[in-house]
Amino acid sequence: MTEFDKEYLKLLKEILQRGEEVENRTGVNTIKIDKYAFKFDLTKEFPILMTKQLFSRQAITEMLWIWQMASNDVRELHKRNVHIWDEWMVDEDGIYRIYEPDGTCEYNPDKEVTVYDPLSTPISDPLAKMNKLSPKLDENGKIMTAKSKIEGKTIKAAKYYGKEYAYTIGTAYGYIVDRYKFTDELIWTIKNSPTDRRMVYSLWQNEFLRTAVLPSCVWSTEWNVYKGTLNLQVHQRSCDVPLGLPFNVTQYATLLSMIAQVTNLNPGFVSYSINEPHIYVNQIDGIKEQLRRGRTYESFSRMTPTKLEQLKIELENKLLTIEDKESKEYIVTDSDIRIIDIILNPVKPELWIDTELKIIDMLLYPTKPILELDKSICEFKDFDNSKDIKHVKIKNYKHMGKLPFKVTQ
């Protein structure tokens, strides 16, 4: 496992052990702690999770969409076969639809909701809840309504942002980068005034919060140059740990490496501070399975190569007996492994075997993931942002397989 895996699993354990369960705007409760911080040295390791598969192409594409293309247009992601922002996209009519969380109600395609105006509250209350907003009137003075546009999802609420924001996420992320030319300013400052202590770039701009579908979670970056290395401090106001954090850490480690290359510096530290790291209660099963993977890795790592090879043979021959399907306890015939609790529900023996074989392979043939950038690229704008991101490769990346986590709007 990477150092990021260890820090990440430690954070998950802390949330489960001392977290507070609270209600929130989504309708799905979260379990949260107050804050968390960590730091990674990019000279030693590239931070990417191995306890679950990280789709690095999507993560890096999203980062380039924000910081290089400086875009809020979701269609640019669609061109690159990335769909992680689809549920937050304003539609062609200027309406943003919020849907009921999966599994919380029966599908009702005929449900109709009032469309509210996010600009109807005073500046002093930019993040007002729906019950404080005024209904949006159409050109005939009639209250606008909306139905679901996604098959299988029931609409919960709707806001009107205007047709000028159609197919975008409103005034968030790349919109702010573009408006203030953050990337250009950052690179110019590093090249021309590397000792500047004001290389701080905030995506949290109050005047644009009401027209941002989702105000930036990673809201601030601070940069500094020290002894020929470029370092980055990332601040996050809120963090969906299972879904968002793996993407964010890999994204900003890649961004730091790219900016370092085009400013003739070496990438140094990525430091992270998170306010209210949380998990959703519908993610707990997946989290426990990921923690189980971490425990299994640690257990297997204490075995000799000979014992690992023997266990590999036993697993490949499916020498796995199920003692009690209901209790989800599986016994491996190797003497060093007694009973392993499978918490992901439901779990099939073949899924378990596949994961353990991946772990054994990591231990028998250890490698460290490496970020490899095309050294011929001298300008940040020249890094390929097509769906192939051909100037970026993550080599030697091994993982323990996919883990599905639900997305909550």
Task: State phi, psi for 349 to the nearest 5 degrees.
Answer: -55, -40
Q: What is the pLDDT of residue 332?
A: 37
CA separation for the pair 199, 23 (Å, rounded): 36
Among residues 286, 278, 201, which one has the least CA distance to residue 244? Answer: 278
Q: What is the pLDDT of residue 323?
A: 37
**Is 405 in contact with 283 (CB distance < 8 Å)?**
yes
Q: What is the pLDDT of residue 329?
A: 37
| 393: enclosing H helix or E strand | strand 392-395
- Please name the amino acid found at residue 133: L
The neighbouring-strand residues paired with 69 are: none
- Give the predicted TM-score (pTM) of the model: 0.89
Q: What is the pLDDT of residue 354?
A: 81
Residue 113: how many CA atoms within 13 Å on its side-chain side?
23
Give the three-class secondary structure for 87: helix
Question: How far is CA 140 from its chain centroid?
Answer: 42
- Residues whose CB falls within 8 Å of the CB of residue 213, separated by 6 or more in sequence, listed in order: 88, 89, 90, 96, 161, 168, 169, 170, 172
Domain ranges of the chain: 3-75+172-282, 90-165
165: how many CB neighbours lie within 10 A of its CB?
23
Query: In CATH, which superfamily holds the domain spanning 3-75+172-282?
Result: Thymidylate synthase/dCMP hydroxymethylase domain (3.30.572.10)
Q: What is the pLDDT of residue 197?
A: 96
**Is 270 in contact with 262 (CB distance < 8 Å)?**
no
405: how many CB neighbours lie within 10 A of its CB?
21
- Bond preceding residue 346 cis, omega within 30 of 0: yes
Task: State phi, psi for 77 to the nearest 5 degrees.
Answer: -70, -40
Q: What is the pLDDT of residue 363?
A: 93
Q: What is the pLDDT of residue 404?
A: 84
Geometric angle at alpha carbon 257, from 251 and 258, rounded to 5°: 90
105 catalytically annotated: no
Q: Which residues of the chain have pLDDT under 70?
A: 103, 121-131, 318-352
Question: How far is CA 144 from its chain centroid?
Answer: 34
Q: DSSP letters of 138-207?
A: -TTSPBPEE---STT--EEEEEE--GGGTTB-BSSTHHHHHHHTHHHHHHHHHHH-TT-S--EEES--GG
